[in-house]
Structure 1
């Protein structure tokens, strides 16, 4: 297939680009190259004759129309989004504009293109979203595809709105849509403002390892390359209008996760004295911090035959190895606005 992938220079988007090229697809990577984008993420894939890049903003409808007409994709994988909760607390407007208005323009451009092509049954618009749209769980239970939406941050609210738009365009206009909602991703090329890379890089620098609140907040951790595999499967096999929750089946509290990273680093690059865990520091919690996310993956397992292949211990070891071997990549990103700063406390 020829895939139009939005946000393909970001963390998850670049994993999808790399895997799609490796599997023989053609890829058009549409990216605005905002602060979290990095073309180096797709440097290897960009060597393929089946790869092309379009520097454009998903809020620019004229640019979108031009890109659709020029490349005539068989499917869209819409990943472009503002995604950092702390930044959404400090500046929600950007999240509203990109995640809601940008998705609206993507849907309208895709609908116009699809109609001009004669509304082929084979076309797909795959919208990639987050489990954060479902809100916060207590000590028990899991999110299913039928869990009512209950977003609690500007980021998750903007993603929830984009999910609703996609479903509405499917119902009202017949646009061939599929959706997926993922749990927390981690792995290679993870932009150094999220928890896993922050802990790795702070540890290597001998800096405090900040944990919000008491570290009891629980997330389901999904290795990014497993996620990319699931996304391509959903695109190719999902029935129209169907949504799938994609999880790693690896629930851990933030404190457990950090201790695991410290243990891995203690083995791979020991400190001169003590353990990296000695650097753990508890800081003021994030406003509205969701207590727990957990994915019920029954639907994707039973309908599409997919399960994650990487355990949290294996995935974190791979991630640490990658950051240790790619210092030039992450050092170049540490001077970008907001990286290394505590954000999201203005509420």
Structure 2
């Protein structure tokens, strides 16, 4: 049995490469039929497809991707640009994106921008220079990423994932952050919390902006003074810890965090200070990264539909690529928002009667 591949010259025998003709001969089909089956360009009958695929597997046939790319002017690769690979939410999303695109026969090249718009622009250019067929971009900043994203969207199909760059720049798919924050606020109100504060991220990435805006729009129904209790830093454990020291003097009974990293940092600092969570202070996050369930206490958070986000992004890209290949006009940009889910855990259990009676004097206040 022959195997695909060629042993380099310079001594020893060679192993000839299995070709479409070999598969055609073994399957009893024409070369054109074999090409249609293995390339997926046109449908054929199920029996013929089975014979061709069995013959290809038996012979160890592997398509020449370089030759295929030259013929089709397609590399079969998608560039994925993300802000910060160290944020645990993004590896989970990248994994689902890779699975969704692999199922469509596409490979992924990804680039990390270290939360810097200039680096992001350079990474986008580098991926375009590598002749990727399309781009998925999780933009660093809603404003400062817009120019580079718009330039790229004029060259290849592009979908914004998880975050946006303003209307009309490109197709986009993201979680409905406003709905997610409403779930958090309704839950806290139902558990008797009446003195809220928000810990989020400064800057203008769309997720940070939308979650802050949703808090400010909805928290007043629970606590008329909640809009004045806002602390902004970045999406990090360190900021969550530091923010606790800034907000405890205002004696909150709930800390609403813009993501899980901030929330876990806040939980660690509260525990260090001897503050009872959730007896005195409830804490909530956003994203449902793996560590949320391992926190002490386990973190109530908003779960983003990661698999559905990836599937919808792959669908939007596939639609644009198909239109491009068929010479169809781009059509209007699409913006898809997917519903999140509230995951209630121990960090936001209802306040105890004793905590409500005492007004929850925080040990941290005595330390100052």
TM-score category (smaller protein): 0.3 to 0.5
Give TM-score, length-normalised by structure 1. 0.37
Give TM-score, length-normalised by structure 2. 0.36
For the pair shown, which has the larger CA radius of gyration, 1 or 2?
A: 2
